Structure 1
């Protein structure tokens, strides 16, 4: 499991409006493309340097493809990164704060100690 890679996906997709829409409309395709093309790029590096060893687990891929923020949190993805991306994708489909409340309600069953979200 790679919390770093999950957080990197959430971070990079959330900062590109075109990727947000792509992920909203075609999650499975976006996750596959991102893992192939973007996952091993060095963050904030403009020289095209890449690593070769990182990849998502099947469980992480499934959670990302299903837009499953609860599973992502349980896997250790940072909740602020998940929330900001999912607000960008789904808030427009709901009334004021309705999506944020549903997001929280879906995580009500979780109790302390929460998964470690340290970076």
Structure 2
């Protein structure tokens, strides 16, 4: 498992409104596309540098494809990254602050210490 790669996905998708919509409408396709085209690009690098070894494991890929932010949190994805991306995708489907309350309710079973978010 790579918390770095999970967080990189959440970070890069959240910063591109077109990717946010694409991920909302076609999560599995977006995860597969991102993993094959963007996962190995060096973050914030404008050159042609890339690695070749970064891949999601099956559990990560499935949690991302299912929009399962609870599972992502349990895996150690950064809570601010999951919250901001999923607000961007689903806030419109709830009353004001409704999604944030739903997020908190679904994570209420978690207690300190939270999963390690270090990458």
Return the TM-score normalized by structure 2.
0.98
After superposing the two structures, state which structure 1 stretch, 105-114 or 32-41, moved more: 105-114
SS at 1:23 equivalent: helix
How many equivalent residue pairs?
A: 119
How far 1:110 sits from its partner (Å)?
1.2
Pick which of 23-32 and 45-54 moved more: 45-54
- The Cα RMSD (Å) is 0.7
SS at match of 2:52: coil
Structure 1 residue 118: deviation in Å? 2.1
Deviation by residue 1:66-115 (Cα, 9 ceiling, x = unmatched) = 00000000111000000000000000111110000000000111122211
Instruction: Please state if 1:23 is matched with 2:23.
Output: yes
Measure, in 2, the Cα distance between the counterparts of 1:106 and 1:93.
Answer: 16
Distance in structure 1 (CA, Å) of the matches to 2:40 and 2:75: 20
How far apart, CA to CA, are the structure 1 residues paired with 2:79 and 2:45?
25
Unaligned runs of 5+ in 2: none
Task: Give the whole-Å Cα distance in 2 for the aligned partners of 1:84 and 1:20.
Answer: 11
Equivalent in the alignment of 1:117: 117
1:1-119 superposed matches below 5 A: 1-119=1-119
Moved over 2 A (4+): none
List runs of 5+ in structure 1 lacking aligned partners.
none
